[in-house]
Amino acid sequence: MPLNIDKFQLPQLFNDSKGRTSPTLTAGFIACMVSLGGFLMSGNLIIVMVVFKFEKDPNVINFLQMIVMQSIGLFTLGGTMLGVHRLSKDKEITKNEGAE
């Protein structure tokens, strides 16, 4: 696919300046989305269990809290991957290379 900087396409979100898909950007984005889903699911379940007094087994609350903490760590890792890739020295896109 030719690199066209005048028109946004979703796959270009994960491309570097040469138009190639970057595994670091892809893995960082997926890690952030998975961790965000786990964080929201576990956090909401903890709130529901505490508000509606479903605290029959404290191990369930501890397990959900562990998922929340692991989600925060995964989000930090994914965000770091995205940040490091963006801060790395990559040439600036100045024209539509290969576009028709």
What does the pLDDT look like over 10-52, one tens digit per residue?
777 777 767 778 888 889 999 999 999 999 998 888 888 888 8
Given a cut of 90, is residue 93 above it in pLDDT? no
Q: What is the mean pLDDT of residues 58-69?
A: 85
Put simply, whether the predicted model's pTM sits higher than 0.75 gets the answer no
The residue among 98 and 51 whose pLDDT is bigger is: 51
CA distances from residue 86 to 17, 32, 90, 99 in whole angstroms, order as listed: 11, 15, 8, 24
pLDDT score at 16: 72
For the chain, what percent of residues have pLDDT higher than 70? 80
65 versus 34: the higher-pLDDT residue is 34
Is the per-residue pLDDT at 70 higher than 80?
A: yes
